Amino acid sequence: MIRIAIQSKGRLNEESLSLLQDIGIEVDAPKRKLLSKSQTFPIEALYLRDDDIPRVVSGGSATLGIVGLNEIEEKGADVTILCRLGFGTCRLSLAVPKGESCDGLGWFSGKRIATSYPNILRKYLDEKGIDAKIEVITGSVEIAPAVGIADAIFDIVSSGSTLIANGLREVETVFESEAVLIARRDLDAEEQALIDDLLFRIESETVSRGKKYLLMNLPQSSLDEAIRILPAMRSPTVMPLASPGWCSLHSVIDAADLWTKVRQLKAIGAEGILVMDVDKIIL
Ligand code: PRT
Ligand code: ZN
């Protein structure tokens, strides 16, 4: 049995639980329970605040954890990062009041910067040789300049709308983050075997994310051109149709390319194009 630390509520909670569900691991959502044992895999979920997850994993009270890379970096936690999970994507950026004529990092020398991430910021400023004062604030960092606590902020940005709503302008991205799966160091053989199984399932899940399955009828004469348009996992599957001179072509493509590919395929005579979601791809 292994234990995985998950954020009890907040931005990473829902997607952490749905990732587990997608890889066949059912656990109860954190209502009043701190611990929830899965009936489908030898794992139990431990629900915590995200700030506590790096320490709980490095200290050995949980084998695994799902947390933002920003938290690992800030806490300097001694854990293994097993894989990036593709959600909770954000960046840590420097921002200034939009009226300020900040034209580069030099502007920050001698200024006060409010943040909840003093360690990442200090390391960055030291690397760049900028001597600024860091004001540590644990919440609502974005209001610091308006209330006179700081001249600038260093905070998490996702869509950028919080900055705009507070009259701030992003001037420098310092750190790119997303949710990651972390593990305690020095795992025993049984833990390692369970983790290998989990990683295999997560990889299948990640590979299939954002993929579409395409099926179409195609004149046989356009086949070479269609194969050039559709670089599938090996090559597209081709099957003959009852009507002479026609075949059926199957392939997996990135969802982002869907409409470009469909247009190209139509142009070479493809008909009856079916587009389907992909649930899992096991490589
Ligand atoms: O209660 P607990 O301590 O567990 O949660 P928390 O309030 O500390 O963290 P939470 O749930 O807000 O965020 C958890 C993790 O989600 C963070 O550590 C990041 O790794 C990741 N993440 C992704 C974000 C955002 N996107 C995000 N946009 N964390 C915070 N924000 C906040 C940001 O602080 C700012 O206030 O959203 C605002 C900016 O968003 P935009 O979209 O307006 O730019
Ligand atoms: Zn937190």
Query: Tens of pLDDT along 77-124?
Result: 999 999 999 999 999 999 999 999 998 999 999 999 999 999 999 999
Q: How far is the CA of 136 from the centre of ligand 2 (A)?
A: 14
Residue 123 within any structural domain of the chain: yes
Residue 30 has pLDDT above 90, yes or no: no
Same domain, 54 and 129: no
Can you give the pLDDT at residue 206?
A: 85
Q: What's the average model confidence in pLDDT over 63-84?
A: 97
Domain residues for the domain of 185 are: 2-88+178-207
Same domain, 109 and 46: no
Rounded Cα gap, residues 170 and 133, in angstroms: 19
Residue 282 within any structural domain of the chain: no
Least confident span in 89-98, 227-236, 272-281: 227-236
Residue 113 within any structural domain of the chain: yes
Q: What's the average model confidence in pLDDT over 236-263?
A: 93
Ligand 1 close to Cβ of residue 15 (< 6 A): no
Can you give the pLDDT at residue 233?
A: 64
Same domain, 127 and 183: no
Residue 283 within any structural domain of the chain: no
Q: What residue's CA is closest to ligand 1, atom 20?
A: 68
Report the domain count for the chain.
3
Structure tokens at 200: 């295999």
Q: What's the average model confidence in pLDDT over 177-205?
A: 96
CATH of the domain at 258: 3.30.70.120
Ligand 1 close to Cβ of residue 30 (< 6 A): no
Which of 127, 160, 177 corresponds to the end of one domain? 177
Ligand 1 close to Cβ of residue 158 (< 6 A): yes
Q: What stretch of H or E contains 202? A: helix 189-208
Same domain, 237 and 268: yes
Cβ burial 234-272 (10 Å sphere, 16+ → b, else e): eebeeeeeeeeebbebbbbbeeeeeeebbebbeebbbee
Same domain, 104 and 156: yes
Same domain, 169 and 112: yes
Rounded Cα gap, residues 139 and 117, in angstroms: 11
Can you give the pLDDT at residue 232?
A: 67
Q: Which residue did the predictor score with more confidence, 270 or 205?
A: 270
CATH of the domain at 10: 3.40.190.10
Same domain, 11 and 72: yes
Can you give the pLDDT at residue 51?
A: 95
Q: How far is the CA of 155 from the centre of ligand 1 (A)?
A: 9
Residue 235 has pLDDT above 80, yes or no: no
Answer yes or no: are the C-beta atoms of 125 and 108 closer than 8 Å: yes
Residue 108 within any structural domain of the chain: yes
Tell me which residue has tokens 């869509």.
159
Residue 32 has pLDDT above 90, yes or no: no
Residue 192 has pLDDT above 70, yes or no: yes
Which of 207, 226, 254 corresponds to the end of one domain? 207
Measured from the Cα of 160, ligand 1's closest atom is: 44
Rounded to the nearest integer, the mean pLDDT of the chain is: 95
